[in-house]
Amino acid sequence: MSVTVGIPAPLRGYIGGRAEVQVAPGTVGGALRELAAAHPQLRRHLFADDGGLRRYVNVYVNEEDVRWLEGERTPVQDGDTLVIVPSIAGGETPADLPELDRAELARYSRHLALPEVGEAGQRRLKAGRVLVVGAGGLGSPVGLYLAAAGVGTIGLVDFDAVDVTNLQRQVLYGESNLGQRKTDAAAHRLADLNPHVRLVRHDLQLTRENALAVIRDYDVVVDGTDNFPTRYLVNDACVLLGKPYVYGSILRFEGQVSVFDGRRGPCYRCLFREPPPPGLVPSCAEGGVLGVLPGIVGSLQALEAMKLLLGQGETLLGRLLLFDALALSFRELRLRKNPDCPVCGAHPTITELIDYEDFCGLRPAPAPAGDAATERPGLLAEAPIDADALPPELSARELKQLLDAGVELDLVDIREPYEWAIANLEPYGARLIPLGQLAEHLDELRDGRPVVLYCHSGVRSARALAALAQAGLVRVSHLRGGIAAWTADVDPTVPRY
């Protein structure tokens, strides 16, 4: 017995035309070095000058990519099959990218000093074309940083005029711009910042009719809008055209950033197949947003757009970054491509743009899950605990005991829908009423079963508890430590975030 190594066609000439050879067990690195020792001409095609595997050499052990195992240190045993698969790549030479003139060389000197950017990278930025959809809170830092960095073509999509309520966060604009078209005011400001940048104004609302024509001319699309129809429209158009989509969203004190690209990873629909029911997620106008938050999230979007143009670094493709400004914390969720995604999956059902207003407006709200608790078998036994005497605060274990004892509770998740999407207590009968909508449910909460509120860490639910108590609810409690405590103390299968 030994390890079988599958040799790709371009390398077979070095081993007498054979498609496979046998080597001794050990590690992937050891096996390939043994191979190179026996056939010295293979070495330069497999190993880089520093002795490591060339990045264009993919190795699979028993059909698993070793990059997801232990790389070169992945063990190979008798009977294992190791296959070398060539990665086919390349690209246009930087010599064909636009030249930098003397003024540009001076302007971008701090970029040129970075080996990861350098002159070639700066020329890539100059050749790059980025479409910024929405010249508002997110679009402001995106436009400013991309223009300052020397991205050659920046398209701005907006149909709005500058309003005084914008100035709290939309740093592209000032008092003198009030009433002006945003595309005009933004282009004026960015041209002043960097006259080497070509600015394209799209003074329109993206629709299914014009989106493909507008987006087609760009390399990267950055979404700075705050409504679901546009988000799905931009996502679908990017998937259909094969463009990377830099996603950002903000509300109150929290933000999200990711990079979607249906060709190489998940798209927005892989994450959120359908929009939440209308009205469930408040807009920034309704829910509010802290002024500096779009500055942070938009700057991250600009960063990702630049990395995409440069081809440098690890982008957020396949990762959703969650930012909490109050806690000052960043969290990260791994995203997976949905093979059944209706737009980027193997068998897409969406092959052209649809009516996104319709798609986002006519979806029925999901049925409340609150009754599930009463339907669970075994939990309908008599309740030895007086539900009217609930303490205002329950630990995760106490709550679990109550549920196990069959106490009928209205377990209300007051977080935002995206948080619900990440992790929830629906299996325990929870239902979602985002904090902003609790007031509308007061009567129903007052007349129903005893209420237990929960949020992520117990801060928001404590605040909501106080508000409900003030509104006259007596049979109400909250989960101390939130869903995070539930994961820690009761059910480790509930995802942390």
- Secondary structure E strands in 361-458: 393-394, 410-413, 431-432, 451-454
Per rule CB under 8 A, is residue 264 in the interface with other proteins?
Answer: yes
Segment near other proteins (CB under 8 A); pick from 10-18, 107-115, 387-395, 460-468: 10-18
Among 51, 68, 88, 472, binds other proteins (CB under 8 A): 88
Among 1, 51, 89, 470, binds other proteins (CB under 8 A): 89
Q: Tell the smallest beta-carbon distance from residue 373 to other proteins (Å).
A: 44
Question: Which residue, among 319, 285, 286, 292, has the nearest Cα to 304 in the 3D structure?
Answer: 319
CA distances from 320 to 115, 223, 237, 270 (A): 28, 15, 20, 12
Q: Restricting to residues 229-258, which ones interact with other proteins according to CB under 8 A?
A: 242, 244
Tell me the number of residues near other proteins by CB under 8 A. 43
Among 308, 394, 403, 464, binds other proteins (CB under 8 A): 308
Per rule CB under 8 A, is residue 423 in the interface with other proteins?
Answer: no
Per rule CB under 8 A, is residue 17 in the interface with other proteins?
Answer: yes
Among 50, 92, 175, 192, binds other proteins (CB under 8 A): 92
- Closest to other proteins by CB, 143 vs 244, is 244
Q: Tell the smallest beta-carbon distance from residue 146 to other proteins (Å).
A: 15
Q: Tell the smallest beta-carbon distance from residue 142 to other proteins (Å).
A: 18
- Closest to other proteins by CB, 88 vs 113, is 88
Among 21, 28, 66, 97, binds other proteins (CB under 8 A): 97
Q: Tell the smallest beta-carbon distance from residue 331 to other proteins (Å).
A: 24
Q: Residue 173 carries which side chain, given as an amino acid letter?
A: Y
The rounded distance, in Å, linking the Cα atoms of 4 and 22 is 5
Per rule CB under 8 A, is residue 96 in the interface with other proteins?
Answer: yes
Q: Restricting to residues 372-391, which ones interact with other proteins according to CB under 8 A?
A: none
The rounded distance, in Å, linking the Cα atoms of 376 and 396 is 19
Partners of 130 in the β-ladder: 154, 220
Among 1, 51, 90, 386, binds other proteins (CB under 8 A): 90
Per rule CB under 8 A, is residue 319 in the interface with other proteins?
Answer: no
Q: Tell the smallest beta-carbon distance from residue 265 to other proteins (Å).
A: 9
- Secondary structure E strands in 135-205: 153-157, 198-202
| 201 CB neighbour count, 10 Å cutoff | 16
Among 249, 315, 424, 477, binds other proteins (CB under 8 A): 315
The rounded distance, in Å, linking the Cα atoms of 90 and 233 is 31
Q: Residue 300 carries which side chain, given as an amino acid letter?
A: L
Partners of 257 in the β-ladder: 248, 321
Per rule CB under 8 A, is residue 67 in the interface with other proteins?
Answer: no
Q: Residue 429 carries which side chain, given as an amino acid letter?
A: G
Per rule CB under 8 A, is residue 291 in the interface with other proteins?
Answer: no
Q: Tell the smallest beta-carbon distance from residue 456 to other proteins (Å).
A: 33
The rounded distance, in Å, linking the Cα atoms of 195 and 197 is 5
Per rule CB under 8 A, is residue 128 in the interface with other proteins?
Answer: yes
The rounded distance, in Å, linking the Cα atoms of 303 and 141 is 10
Q: Tell the smallest beta-carbon distance from residue 89 to other proteins (Å).
A: 4
Per rule CB under 8 A, is residue 428 in the interface with other proteins?
Answer: no
Which of the residues 238, 284, 341, 360 is marked catalytic?
Answer: 284
Listed in sequence order, the DSSP H helices in 380-458 are 396-404, 417-422, 442-447
Q: Tell the smallest beta-carbon distance from residue 7 to other proteins (Å).
A: 10
Q: Residue 397 carries which side chain, given as an amino acid letter?
A: R
Q: Restricting to residues 194-233, which ones interact with other proteins according to CB under 8 A?
A: 219
Active site residue 341: no
Per rule CB under 8 A, is residue 8 in the interface with other proteins?
Answer: yes
The rounded distance, in Å, linking the Cα atoms of 27 and 42 is 18
Q: Tell the smallest beta-carbon distance from residue 211 to other proteins (Å).
A: 18
The rounded distance, in Å, linking the Cα atoms of 106 and 481 is 54
Three-state DSSP class for residue 130: strand
Segment near other proteins (CB under 8 A); pick from 290-298, 304-312, 384-392, 423-431: 304-312
CB 442 within 8 A of CB 456: no
Which of the residues 267, 270, 344, 455 is marked catalytic?
Answer: 455
Active site residue 344: no
Residue 368 DSSP symbol: P
- Closest to other proteins by CB, 88 vs 328, is 88
Q: Residue 144 carries which side chain, given as an amino acid letter?
A: L
Task: Please list, residue by residue across 426-456, b when 16 or more beta carbons sit within 10 angstroms of its beta carbon and e when fewer do.
Answer: bebbbbbbbbbebeebeeebeeebbbbbbbb
Q: What angle, rounded to 10 degrees, do the helices at 293-310 and 118-127 form? A: 110
Per rule CB under 8 A, is residue 50 in the interface with other proteins?
Answer: no
Instruction: Write out the residues near other proteins by the rule CB under 8 A.
Output: 8-14, 16-17, 41, 44-45, 56, 58, 85-97, 124, 127-129, 219, 242, 244, 261, 263-264, 308-311, 315, 317
Annotated active-site positions, please? 284, 455
